Chain A
Amino acid sequence: MRVRTTAAVAAVSSLALLTGCGAADMTKQASPFANAQGAKTVTLSVQSWVGAQSNVAVAQYLLEHELGYRVDTVQVDEVPAWDALSQGRVDALLEDWGHPEQEQRYVKDKKTIAPGGELGVTGHIGWFVPTYFAKKHPDITNWKNLDKYADRFRTPESGSKGQLMDGSPSYVTNDKALVKNLKLDYQVVFAGSEAAQITQMRQFAKEKKPFLTYWYSPQWLFKKVPMTEVKLPPYKEGCDADPEKVACAYPHTPLQKYLNADFAKKGGKAAAFLKKFKWTTEDQNEVSLMIADKKMTPEDAAKKWVDSHESTWKKWLS
């Protein structure tokens, strides 16, 4: 027993020695890869969709080439990103699709995260069918007619019902409740990741097969696979308050930026720049298409955009 206590005491005291005695601040811990070789570093969080990659790519390019920062990027899902932001593991989140619970906790109560203003892009989630199918069957664009086509959307995975394909588990979705509450003859199949969902959509499109999918705009894939939205019962403020009873469409959300509160105050030029960063849906799509479809590296895509849109980004630096 004595040996074990000695060992424990030794372990704890060496821990304390190594880190400097006293309390450790869990809110101030940057990545060990940051500020290597004496460079000022900004850490940006990237979400798994390409639009988010485009924001980060352009911000990163400008921070590195115009302001002389080194930029680290960390890929995290939205909810964990809020957590990371509050702890200072990342400095900024450039595209948030609305997380009222997190906002209440971190921005209003704990004040560890500061709002960074609007991104300039408005997001919208909905149900989509490929345009080649909607042209042939125009009545598909109303949810009331969906059941009529259920058998056209059938796959081995959805069994005897039509397949409504959903994407990544990190996305905001009411689709299971919607199918149930609108009494549709559909089965929600979760693709499990956006990459899987996109791959499947492109395979369907190659063969001009009909499909029904949860999707969102802005999104570069619309340029490759034109899609038409299916009208759901209209959205009214608060109609999605009870997740069990939702029976209406998704809202249009002006996407927001958030910064770590400390960084917002002391981040100097980088923080000021990120607060001013604001572009349009078209801008974002232009970069996204280069990354996702032309398979350019995010850096090359950002450079190309930056070279041709000087007037847009000059404003962010002033």
Chain B
Amino acid sequence: MASITANPPRVGLPGLLRHRVVHKLLLLALAAAILVPLANARWASGTWPSALTLDFSEPLAKASDWIIDNRDSHPLFLYFFGHVSNVVVIAVRAVYLGLLAVGWAGVTALGTLVAWRVAGIRLALGTGVAFLACGLLGMWVPTMQTLALMVVAVLASAVVGVLLGLAAGLSDRMDRVLRPVLDTMQVLPAFAYLLPVVLVFGIGVPAAVLATVVYAAPPMARLTSLGLRGADKEVLEAVESLGSTARQRLLTARIPLARKELLLGLNQTIMMALSMAVIAAVIGAGGLGDRVYQALASVDVGAALAAGIPIVLLAVVLDRVTGAAGEKLGAEPEPHSGRGWLFALAGVVAVAVAGRLAGRLDWPDAWVVGIAEPVNRAVDWMTAHLYSGVPVVGGTADWAGHFTTWVLDPMRDGLQALPWWAVLLIVAALAWVIGTWRTALTAVLAMAAIGVLGVWKPSLDTLSQVLAAVAVTLVVGFAVGIAAARSDRLERALRPVLDVFQTMPQFVYLIPVVALFGVGRAPAVAAAIVYALPAVVRITTQGLRQVDPAALEASGSLGATSWQQLKQVQLPLARPALLLAVNQGLVLVLAVVVIGGLVGGGALGYDVVFGLAQGDLATGLVAGGAIVCLGLMLDRVTQPTERRAKKGA
């Protein structure tokens, strides 16, 4: 099949590439030959030398004491944080009371009619059904609490994101400064900064909203900046030639031209904010997340699912509606669209007033369907029959045991047995081969920072779990992704499944995972795989489908079998997408390392949870910092430099 040359420049590349790679590796070997004996002579030890660590526990403990002692009296709190906190409380309360006053019928009508106006009749029906389902599950009030929280958090994230995005989009210097900041905001596990936020704002809604903003603002900022930078040069020149000022240009040309990116940014921000809804419950945000979390405490999967489903429904509805709104942006505006909105508004008011007059503001208790019991029975049956003693294949507990002993243990022990400088060298080599010397330097510094923080061993433990989880995710994800790319029907069938896995709060499936795999690192890996798999499947499918059909036809006409087509045309051409899948897999697995700490994953994830539970700023922040460094290192090692801009978007 050598006759297929779909991508001519690629043919010459490997030779050149190999030459450069050898060159880089030789240089690195030379540097190592000089530096390693020096380092070894000075700090002869396998693991990270203690002479090279810094202990942050004392200053961090002092900082936390200072905050607690001054929180009620220092002007910084009285005149700044206090007001921020009050504004958040007032805003959330206003939205919540508004939603309660409109009543369940009014809210459902509002959601449905807004969806109808921006996204068409089908999504409108879906939205209505989703709201009714929240009520039927007995989750109306928590859903409204979560919705109120989300409205405020998304608005705040969007404002912060647009401001940052404007700064980054208009000034190259700001762009350079902001990029690592945004990277950190996204990689930092939310659990790590919950604690400082709680120290400053206390348990509850303000802290939850602000933690959500930290997590959800970056995609808005990234896409705003991308949109501003991508504006058509000719249009801008035309506007400039009309003698407009910089501000006019921004408002009349650049921002309107970036509408699509702005809307995509809003969509991403909504999704990320919702994914924080449960984590925020850990610091007392209330709402659906709190119900999931409380159900976890009584080991009640059914109750957790009843609160998890509304979160999934909200996420899917919001995603589809904002997505459809984005697609409609380019199209011609419909005639009479103003009148349509008027009808919609009138409908909402009518329904709300009717609900009010009928005295039916609260969801009627009689209309609640209990799903907890049948779900629990199903889970019990599953875990009772699959856990062990299944003929021939063995039970899930046996698999988990084998996975721990044969995969996780050797990987962890191997990594921990490597001399520290060898780890740094491997990181440098991998990052340099795929990127520039700058990438390599960042990766090595990130890894070294882990040593300096004094958490070298647990970090390598976490790294081994992450690598194992990513390996399994990629094998399964590529297989499913390839299958979905070849069958439209499978792709359609998979879509809702992937939606559910991506948006279902991880707390819901922690118990089944433990019931199947026992306590330890194996269930932690399993939970991470469940979370990261959808993204990998999606990116793989999309990448394969975008392969130029002409190349496929050409190879088909040459008599290539479908397996040959896949191997020699589709996969090589989809290489960038596959690399992105690897990268996203890593980022997502790392994002749930902390959750793994809740089922016995130990290492950094446990330390972060411990820090939060015990109010121990030092342990929590240091472990969180180490997770950030791991993320940075893994990103640099897997991501070719030129495509970095896409990340997180």
- With A33-B145, A79-B613, A156-B405 already in contact, the answer to whether A292 and B299 are too (CB < 8 A) is yes
B294 touches A53 (CB 8 A): yes
B302 touches A157 (CB 8 A): no
A169 within 8 A of B: yes
- With A24-B83, A37-B100, A196-B600 already in contact, the answer to whether A83 and B203 are too (CB < 8 A) is yes
Q: Contacting B96 at CB < 8 Å: which of A36, A80, A207?
A: A36
* Chain A contacts with B in 182-202, Cβ cutoff 8 A: 189-200
A196 touches B510 (CB 8 A): yes
A49 within 8 A of B: yes
B599 touches A191 (CB 8 A): yes
B597 touches A192 (CB 8 A): yes
Minimal Cβ-Cβ distance residue in A for B141: A33
Minimal Cβ-Cβ distance residue in B for A209: B388
A10 within 8 A of B: no
Q: Give A48-84 as 1s and 0s: 1 = Cβ < 8 Å from B's Cβ atoms.
A: 1110010000000000000000001111111111011
* Chain B contacts with A in 82-96, Cβ cutoff 8 A: 82-87, 89-90, 92-93, 96
A107 within 8 A of B: no
A165 within 8 A of B: yes
CA distance A195 to B514 in the complex (A): 9
- With A157-B600, A195-B510 already in contact, the answer to whether A189 and B520 are too (CB < 8 A) is yes
B600 touches A46 (CB 8 A): no
Minimal Cβ-Cβ distance residue in B for A199: B514
B613 touches A83 (CB 8 A): no
B501 within 8 A of A: no
Q: Contacting A192 at CB < 8 Å: which of B79, B511, B518, B601?
A: B601
B293 within 8 A of A: yes
- With A24-B79, A105-B68, A157-B404 already in contact, the answer to whether A196 and B598 are too (CB < 8 A) is yes
A80 touches B615 (CB 8 A): yes
B87 touches A19 (CB 8 A): yes
Chain A contacts for B409, CB-based, 8 A: 156, 159
A75 touches B297 (CB 8 A): yes
A312 within 8 A of B: no
A168 within 8 A of B: yes
A199 touches B511 (CB 8 A): yes
Minimal Cβ-Cβ distance residue in B for A101: B615
- With A26-B81, A29-B204 already in contact, the answer to whether A199 and B100 are too (CB < 8 A) is no
A195 touches B297 (CB 8 A): yes
Chain A contacts for B515, CB-based, 8 A: 199, 203
B519 touches A32 (CB 8 A): no
Q: Give B62-73 as 1s and 0s: 1 = Cβ < 8 Å from A's Cβ atoms.
A: 000000100110
User: How many Å from the CB of A304 to the closest CB on chain B?
Assistant: 16
A90 within 8 A of B: yes
CA distance A99 to B85 in the complex (A): 28
Chain A contacts for B77, CB-based, 8 A: 24, 26
B372 touches A295 (CB 8 A): yes
B288 within 8 A of A: no
B521 within 8 A of A: yes
Q: Give B600-613 as 1s and 0s: 1 = Cβ < 8 Å from A's Cβ atoms.
A: 11100110011011
Q: Most chain-A Cβ atoms within 10 A of its Cβ — which of B87, B202, B206, B515?
A: B202
A169 touches B614 (CB 8 A): yes
- With A46-B294, A53-B297 already in contact, the answer to whether A200 and B510 are too (CB < 8 A) is no
* Chain A contacts with B in 207-247, Cβ cutoff 8 A: 207
B297 touches A196 (CB 8 A): no
Q: Most chain-B Cβ atoms within 10 A of its Cβ — which of A33, A50, A53, A105?
A: A33
A1 within 8 A of B: no
B613 touches A169 (CB 8 A): yes
A203 touches B387 (CB 8 A): yes
A156 touches B297 (CB 8 A): no
CA distance A155 to B404 in the complex (A): 10
A89 touches B511 (CB 8 A): no
Q: Most chain-B Cβ atoms within 10 A of its Cβ — which of A16, A31, A112?
A: A31
Binds A, one of B258-266, B279-287, B489-497, B546-554: B279-287
Minimal Cβ-Cβ distance residue in B for A54: B298
- With A192-B597, A197-B519, A200-B514 already in contact, the answer to whether A29 and B376 are too (CB < 8 A) is no
Chain A contacts for B302, CB-based, 8 A: 295
A84 touches B600 (CB 8 A): no
User: How many Å from the CB of B86 to the closest CB on chain A?
Assistant: 4
A74 touches B100 (CB 8 A): no
Chain B contacts for A18, CB-based, 8 A: 83, 86-87, 90
B284 touches A76 (CB 8 A): yes
B583 within 8 A of A: no
Q: Give B404-423 as 1s and 0s: 1 = Cβ < 8 Å from A's Cβ atoms.
A: 11000100000000000000
B86 touches A49 (CB 8 A): no
A83 touches B293 (CB 8 A): no
B606 touches A192 (CB 8 A): yes
User: How many Å from the CB of A215 to the closest CB on chain B?
Assistant: 14
CA distance A49 to B519 in the complex (A): 18
A104 within 8 A of B: no
Chain A contacts for B284, CB-based, 8 A: 31, 74-76, 84, 89-90
Chain B contacts for A291, CB-based, 8 A: 298
B78 within 8 A of A: yes
User: How many Å from the CB of B536 to the closest CB on chain A?
Assistant: 25
B202 touches A24 (CB 8 A): no
Chain B contacts for A157, CB-based, 8 A: 404, 518-521, 600
- With A18-B90, A203-B387 already in contact, the answer to whether A25 and B82 are too (CB < 8 A) is yes
B86 touches A29 (CB 8 A): yes
B202 touches A84 (CB 8 A): yes
Q: Most chain-B Cβ atoms within 10 A of its Cβ — which of A32, A156, A206, A295?
A: A32
CA distance A87 to B68 in the complex (A): 10
A24 touches B90 (CB 8 A): no
B296 within 8 A of A: yes
Minimal Cβ-Cβ distance residue in A for B194: A80
CA distance A195 to B96 in the complex (A): 31
Minimal Cβ-Cβ distance residue in A for B614: A79
A74 touches B83 (CB 8 A): no
A80 touches B203 (CB 8 A): yes
User: How many Å from the CB of B577 to the closest CB on chain A?
Assistant: 35
B600 touches A191 (CB 8 A): yes
User: How many Å from the CB of A83 to the closest CB on chain B?
Assistant: 6
User: How many Å from the CB of B155 to the closest CB on chain A?
Assistant: 14
User: How many Å from the CB of B310 to the closest CB on chain A?
Assistant: 16
B198 touches A80 (CB 8 A): yes
User: How many Å from the CB of B283 to the closest CB on chain A?
Assistant: 7
Q: Give B367-397 as 1s and 0s: 1 = Cβ < 8 Å from A's Cβ atoms.
A: 0000011001000000110011000000001
- With A49-B297, A83-B615, A156-B405 already in contact, the answer to whether A295 and B373 are too (CB < 8 A) is yes
CA distance A92 to B146 in the complex (A): 24
Minimal Cβ-Cβ distance residue in A for B148: A32
B400 touches A156 (CB 8 A): yes
B293 touches A75 (CB 8 A): yes
CA distance A72 to B294 in the complex (A): 13
B203 touches A76 (CB 8 A): yes
CA distance A215 to B43 in the complex (A): 43
A256 within 8 A of B: no
CA distance A94 to B469 in the complex (A): 41
A29 touches B283 (CB 8 A): no
CA distance A36 to B521 in the complex (A): 44
B323 within 8 A of A: no
Q: Name 15 interchain pairs, CB-CB below 8 A, sorted by A.
A: A27-B72, A32-B96, A32-B148, A33-B145, A74-B204, A80-B283, A83-B615, A87-B203, A156-B402, A157-B600, A189-B519, A189-B602, A192-B609, A198-B299, A295-B373
Nearest first, the 8 closest Cβ-Cβ pairs linking A and B are: A24-B82, A170-B613, A32-B93, A157-B520, A84-B203, A169-B610, A156-B404, A23-B78
Contacts A74-B290, A75-B290, A199-B299 known; 4 new A-B pairs at CB < 8 A: A27-B72, A33-B96, A190-B606, A193-B598
